[in-house]
Amino acid sequence: MIQRLPSGVRFPVLALLAELIGLGFFGLSAFLIHGSAPFLPYGMEGPLSLVGLACSGVLAGILAAIGLYQLHAYRPMWLAVPVTLLIYLPILAVAAVSTWLFLVFLGVA
Site residues (CB under 8 A) for another protein, limited to 38-97: 38, 42-43, 45-46, 49-50, 61, 64-66, 68-74, 84, 88-89, 92-93, 95-97
In this structure, are residues 60 and 97 in contact, taking their beta carbons and an 8 Å threshold?
A: no
Nearest to 31 by CA among 22, 23, 40: 40
Q: Name which of 1 and 12 has its Cβ closer to another protein.
A: 12
Based on the shown chain and the rule CB under 8 A, indicate whether residue 108 belongs to the binding site for another protein.
yes
In this structure, are residues 53 and 94 in contact, taking their beta carbons and an 8 Å threshold?
A: no
Distance CA 84, CA 14 (A): 15
Please provide the DSSP assignment of 33-58 as one string. Answer: HHSSS--S-TT-HHHHHHHHHIIIII
Q: Give me the least distance between CB of 1 and another protein, in Å please.
A: 25
Q: Which residues bind another protein (CB under 8 A)?
A: 26-27, 29-31, 33-35, 38, 42-43, 45-46, 49-50, 61, 64-66, 68-74, 84, 88-89, 92-93, 95-97, 99-100, 104-109
